[in-house]
Amino acid sequence: MNKWWMVRAGDTNELIPKWLTHQVASIGWSDLGDPKQFASKEKLVEKANLVYSDEKPGTRLSWVGQVWRFFREIEINDRVITYSKETREYIIGTVTQAHQYRPDIVDSYYPNVISVFWESKKISRDLLSQGAKNSLGGILTVFRVDNWGTELLGLLGDTCTLQPNANEEQEINYQDFIEQAKTMVEDLVDRLDPWQMQDLVAGLLQAMGYQVAVSPKGPDGGVDILAHRDAFGFEKPIIKVQVKHRHAATGGPEVQQLLGANPQGGSCLFVSTGGFTVAARSSAQHNGVKLLDLTGIVELINEWYDKMPVDKQALIPLKRIYVPS
């Protein structure tokens, strides 16, 4: 049976363009060297204990397990899936060549490489069942997802089916558990309508100590929220906020529109859950506009949620949990 593997494309999905260009997938831990030089997983653990001595033992074992799995267990014709946070889409491919140690293909920091034929069709995260979303949400860098192969193939339009493998063991890395939780929060934010999204951003600003005025539905002159420190709005800085809640990226002209909107001279914050084009980022950097994408919103929620007004917390109900440090 061909296996299904989730492989995360770097810390911020920054590897995806290179993966698609070179038709590969890759992982890091370059300090371990070529895993082919180790006769056993135990020998690789010994190397990890030397080069990653500052890390916790459990973390070292988790990293070794993923490298060893990537090196020894992924085979030709296995299926690979990765996730683009920017577009909220899964990209699926088929392994065409097993492990190679090639620091020259993607990046010297990600030298462990497999060749992959990537499908042109992508799968929106919104189309997945909740169980699939939870399982694919971000545990580890490399892990098996055989249980969801049938669903993924159905969405891809393939008629093949897979028998689920319920016995797959996965090592637990608590940082990856946290990343999975963040992805689930992204799902909650993504389900908000545009007006709720404005209220959520306003609630975050309130948690930071700002007074806010949210524009009513209808034409807003390019500004959705005005934020200021004092009750009357006299004290500077006054922040004008534009919120775009959609899957499409925000472009340069929209950033320029915010700059030109009243009040003139106010500080600018542009919130776009669909991300920003290169032109938008360039314009923002040149004009001192702060940009906030979906990942940034979730980071702020994680930091300020407890101080948000109760009615704004109700937009995305969350519960605090604790994991071992």
- CATH code of the domain covering residue 224: 3.40.1350.10
In a shared domain, residues 18 and 90: yes
In a shared domain, residues 9 and 151: yes
In a shared domain, residues 134 and 229: no
Direct distance between the N- and C-terminal alpha carbons of the chain, in angstroms, rounded to an integer: 38
Report how far residue 15's alpha carbon sits from residue 7's, in angstroms, rounded to the nearest whole number. 11
**Domain's final residue, options 172, 206, 231:** 172
Residue 52 lies in a domain: yes
> How confident is the model over 198-249, as pLDDT tens digits?
999 999 999 999 999 999 887 667 799 999 988 777 777 799 999 999 888 8
Please determine, for residue 316, whether its predicted confidence score (pLDDT) is greater than 90.
Answer: yes
Residue 131 lies in a domain: yes
> How confident is the model over 110-128, as pLDDT tens digits?
999 999 999 999 999 889 9
Its pTM stands at 0.64
- pLDDT interval class at 171 (50, 70, 90): very low
Output the average pLDDT for the chain: 88
In a shared domain, residues 104 and 47: yes
Number of structural domains found in the chain: 2
Q: Which pLDDT does position 220 carry in this prediction?
A: 61
Q: Which pLDDT does position 57 carry in this prediction?
A: 84
Can you give the residue range of the structural domain that contains 298?
192-313
Residue 321 lies in a domain: no
Q: Which pLDDT does position 170 carry in this prediction?
A: 45
CATH code of the domain in which 142 resides? 3.10.590
Q: Which pLDDT does position 174 carry in this prediction?
A: 59
- Whether residue 267 contacts residue 225, with contact meaning beta carbons closer than 8 Å, is answered with no
In a shared domain, residues 166 and 299: no
Q: Which pLDDT does position 162 carry in this prediction?
A: 38
In a shared domain, residues 147 and 231: no
In a shared domain, residues 168 and 196: no
Per-residue 3-state assignment (H helix, E strand, C coil) for 32-82: HCCHHHCCCHHHHHHHHHHHCCCCCHHHHHHHHHHHHHHHHCCCCCCEEEE
Residue 183 lies in a domain: no
In a shared domain, residues 150 and 289: no
Axis crossing angle, helix 294-304 with helix 174-190, rounded to the nearest 10: 110
Please determine, for residue 172, whether its predicted confidence score (pLDDT) is greater than 90.
Answer: no
